[in-house]
Amino acid sequence: MAKVRILPDHVANQIAAGEVIERPAAVVKELVENALDAGATRVEVEFRHGGRSFIRVEDNGGGMARDDALLALERHATSKLAVAADLDRLHTFGFRGEALPSIASIARFTLQTRATGDEAGTEILVNGGKLVHVRECGRPVGTRIEVADLFNSVPARRKFLKTDATEAAHIVAGVRLHALACPRVAFTLIEDGRVVFRSPQCADLVGRVAEIFGRQLAAELVPVEATEAGQRLTGLIGRPGLGRATRHELVTFVNGRPVDSRTLSYAVIESYHESVPRGRYPMAFLFFECDPAAVDVNVHPAKREVRFRSEPAVRGFVIRSVLARLREIAECGRRSAELPATGGEQRPTSNNQHPTSGLPPLASAIPHSASHVPPAPASASPHSAIPHSAFHLPNSAAPAPPIENQESPIQNPSWRFLGVAHGDYALFETAAGLVLLDRRAAHERVWFERLREQFGSGTVPGQRLLLPQPLELDPVAAALLLERLKFINAHGFEVTEFGRNFFRIEAVPDWMEPGDAEPFVRDLLGALRDGRIQGGNLDAAREQFARLAAARAVRLSAAGGEEQMRALVTQLFATRVPLTSPAGRPTFIELNHGELARRFQR
């Protein structure tokens, strides 16, 4: 029978490190939080090779004396807690005292620090949990920590790390969150010798958002502030109608701590239910403040998850606060719109996901084999800017996945057009019953196959813009765009770098309205960041690109006539998979005589 024994300290620290330090970004997070707790007004972070080989965090905080520096490397040694009751009044990022000994046990750890009033600093070197030396050093007041060869004592953990680019993205995202949380602290982030961003001290949150996410995004935000029963909500929210394809720009903080809170995030999304199109996410940078005793930040070792004592109360307060602000904005917009009528028509915004501008007549795009469909009158195509060849789908298209090689179950259907219901659905009478055609889903399928063919052949017609569209991005998105610039420009775009994190869109594909270029590129970058478009497989990346483009290429007219609907049906059944849209939604449903009789209880 095995004997029970106490683990050596270095083994216990390595076990604890598995919970606290899961990747290089966790090292940076813990060290940055220590710097902020020390009262730093300047924090500089540098890393190389995704943080595997080198991480440095330097600050100008209060520093530590020699004895305190040595004690800080012991487990559960902290200056932020004294008694258990202090957990109910936390005002610091860290409090467990596990970060430094955990990091020092799995890397080559160098600590240089000097406290205010000390004549010399202290340098401590620890390698894999073993103390190498302690000596004096010269340095300014503050602390500098270097972490080299991360996971050198536990090489099995290194195998679970992702690529350098992925690990670097996690580090950049984490530092950016802490920079937002503390706008009065100057942050500098350096990756492989290149400055990712340098944000000076900012007087307010708007300035920090402009520095990190770009002035274009900051201009689309409005302030929000509300107080109710010991709860306070401040920050910035996006204007109604503006949304993003991902949640990367929906950031929440609780008592100044960046967190992933489902309660807060879903409350914000629900508040925008009528203000942002379905499938889009609002932009928000929200700070929620409450009594520290009303929230538990000790749920997870990473401290990214929190629990509220009263989730419904928090959720209701956030929804009411955001909704009230959105209604104020809408009311201001309504009043400003009450001007003498000029006879003009208001144009939809470029971010609208259901535009009503005219679609280039589909009748002009009917394949030659469908000559029985009469062509649309010439007067019906004032907006058509795409040549006839761009619409034609020859039978010799590029090979498709096996599921798309099957023949259409319906060939040249003889449907009699009845009308359009609710602007979205075309109603047809057939020999078997009734058919409801989803106009948007059908258009997306037709556009998807056209664009996929163009992307595969490398013949994407484009149009240069008279006035280039400016595009300002956050450092992470800018680095991603530079990495994929060749791929994007090969698909009808011409995007050029015009400064640090600033670009110009000088040409767009013919299928795109110029006003949609900037939001589409942002959505494309969001898909790349989320992994929905993979760069390793070019064919798969082109297909995903075509899916995203097809949804944006559709322009439904307010009402469709018989000729346009017959042309749409002909084109739909000329595609490889006429039954579903690129997203997998059905393009039409059929109610046969038996189903109709059952519904009417005949």
Distance CA 282, CA 242 (A): 7
Helix (H) or strand (E) holding 506: strand 502-509
Question: What's the chain's length in residues?
Answer: 602
* Cβ partners under 8 Å of residue 462, min gap 6: 492, 493, 494, 507, 508, 509, 510
DSSP sequence for 432-456: SEEEEEEHHHHHHHHHHHHHHHHHH
Question: 549-562: per-residue pLDDT in tens?
Answer: 888 788 777 666 88
Q: How confident is the model at residue 535 (pLDDT cuts 50, 70, 90)?
A: low
Helix-, strand-, coil-residue percentages of the chain, each rounded to 5: 35, 25, 40
Mean pLDDT across the stretch 377-404?
Answer: 34
* pLDDT digits 0-9 by tens, 283-305: 999 999 998 888 887 776 666 78
pLDDT given for residue 484 in this prediction: 85
Q: Please tell me the distance from the alpha carbon of residue 77 to that of residue 92, in angstroms, as a whole number.
A: 15
Question: Dihedral, CA atoms, 522, 528, 532, 535, nearest 10 degrees?
Answer: 140
Tell me how crowded residue 56 is: count the other CB atoms within 10 A of its CB: 18
* CB-based burial label for 282 (10 Å; 0-12, 13-18, 19+): buried
Q: Which domains does the chain have, with CATH numbers?
A: 9-205 (3.30.565.10), 220-332 (3.30.230.10), 362-455+556-599 (3.30.1540.20), 462-509+514-553 (3.30.1370.100)
Beta bridge partners of 122: 113, 136
What is the Cα–Cα distance from 30 to 21, expressed in whole angstroms?
9
Kindly state the DSSP code that residue 301 receives in the 8-state scheme.
Answer: T
pLDDT bracket for residue 309 (50, 70, 90): confident
Per DSSP, which regions of 167-294 are E strands? 186-191, 194-199, 221-228, 231-238, 250-254, 257-259, 284-289
- Over residues 236-273, the pLDDT tens digits come to 999 888 888 888 889 999 998 898 888 999 999 999 98
Numbers of helices and strands, H then E, in the chain: 18, 22
pLDDT, average across residues 5-26: 71
Closest C-alpha among 324, 346, 238 to residue 286? 238
pLDDT averaged over the chain? 79
Half-sphere exposure of 391 (CA within 13 A, CB side): 22
Q: What is the pLDDT of residue 80?
A: 61
Mean pLDDT over 116-135 rounds to 93
Q: Is the pTM of this model over 0.75?
A: no
Is the pLDDT reported for residue 127 higher than 90?
yes
Euclidean distance between CA atoms 523 and 514, whole angstroms: 15
Average pLDDT of the residues in 111-132: 93
Tens digit of pLDDT for each residue in 428-444? 988 888 999 998 899 89
- Is the pLDDT at 87 greater than 70? The verdict is no
User: How would you classify the pairing of strands 433-438 and 425-429?
Assistant: antiparallel
Indicate if the pLDDT at residue 314 is higher than 70: yes
The structure tokens listed for 436 are: 């409801």
**C-alpha span between 517 and 61 (Å, rounded):** 45
Q: What is the pLDDT of residue 348?
A: 42
